[in-house]
């Protein structure tokens, strides 16, 4: 499987994701047919991808506090630049979809650095 990437679209998760510490470089890829989710495609293990979605797809009033240290780590200057996604799980045949609201992905849309934050 070959993945097209111009380099500017790469998301960097320096610590990887929970359970996937060696996968640090990712891109977002549209699903076909178009759905309210995207693929988070690994560039380090090209055959691996996970569906991600806006957390609002699963819970209208989803929210949590982001500590200043996390914003600093991602070099977020404007909170509007912070993008939040959750990893989704699609049930057999696509009949059910759930989102991991307890471990959201945070990405600075300006520098494309991200991390997975495990909520307590």
What is the distance between the alpha carbons of residues 118 and 98, in angstroms, rounded to a whole number? 17
Output the pLDDT for position 4.
53
Rounded distance, CA 37 to CA 47, Å?
18
Q: What is the mean pLDDT of residues 7-31?
A: 94
The whole-number pLDDT of residue 1 equals 40
Pairwise pLDDT comparison (7 vs 52), residue with the higher score: 52
- With residues binned 3-state (H G I as helix, E B as strand, rest as coil), the percentages for the chain, rounded to 5, are 10, 35, 50
pTM for the predicted model, two decimal places: 0.90
Beta strands in 2-119 (DSSP E): 11-13, 25-30, 37-42, 49-53, 82-90, 97-99, 105-108, 113-116
Q: Tens of pLDDT along 53-111?
A: 999 999 999 999 999 999 999 999 999 999 999 999 998 988 899 999 999 999 999 99
Q: What is the pLDDT of residue 93?
A: 84
């Amino acid at each position: 499987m070959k993945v097209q990437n111009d380099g500017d679209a790469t998301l960097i998760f320096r610590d990887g994701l929970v359970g996937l510490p060696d996968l640090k470089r990712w891109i977002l890829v549209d699903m076909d047919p178009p759905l309210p989710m995207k693929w988070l495609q690994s560039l380090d293990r090209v055959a691996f991808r996970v569906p991600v979605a806006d957390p609002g797809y699963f819970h209208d009033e989803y929210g949590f506090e982001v500590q200043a240290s996390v914003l600093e780590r991602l070099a977020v200057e404007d909170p509007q630049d912070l993008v939040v996604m959750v990893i989704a799980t699609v049930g057999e045949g696509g009949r059910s979809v759930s989102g991991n609201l307890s471990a959201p992905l945070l990405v600075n849309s300006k520098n494309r650095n991200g991390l997975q934050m495990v909520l307590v």
